[in-house]
Amino acid sequence: MNDFERELAAAFGDDWEERLGGTYHAMLGEVPPHVRERWAAVADLGRPQLIEAIEALRTVAIAENPMGLRVQQLVQFGQLLVLGQESPARLHAVAALRHGASLAELLGVAETAFITAGVPAFSLGVRVIDELR
Check: CB of residue 77 under 8 Å from CB of residue 89: yes
96-109 burial: b if 16+ Cβ within 10 Å, else e? bbebebeeebbeeb
Query: Is residue 121 over pLDDT 80?
Result: yes
Domain segments of the chain as ranges: 3-63, 68-132
Distance CA 133, CA 119 (A): 21
Share of the chain above pLDDT 90, in %: 80
Q: What is the pLDDT of residues 4-58, one digit of tens each?
A: 788 888 888 888 888 899 999 988 999 999 999 999 999 999 999 999 999 999 9
Distance CA 59, CA 127 (A): 30
Dihedral-angle region of residue 29 (phi above 0 means left; psi in -120 to 50 means alpha; beta otherwise): left
What φ, ψ does residue 71 adopt, rounded to 5°? -70, -40
pLDDT at 112: 98
Q: Give the global pTM.
A: 0.86
pLDDT at 16: 86
The verdict on domain 68-132 having CATH code 1.20.200.10 is: no
Mean pLDDT of 101-112: 98
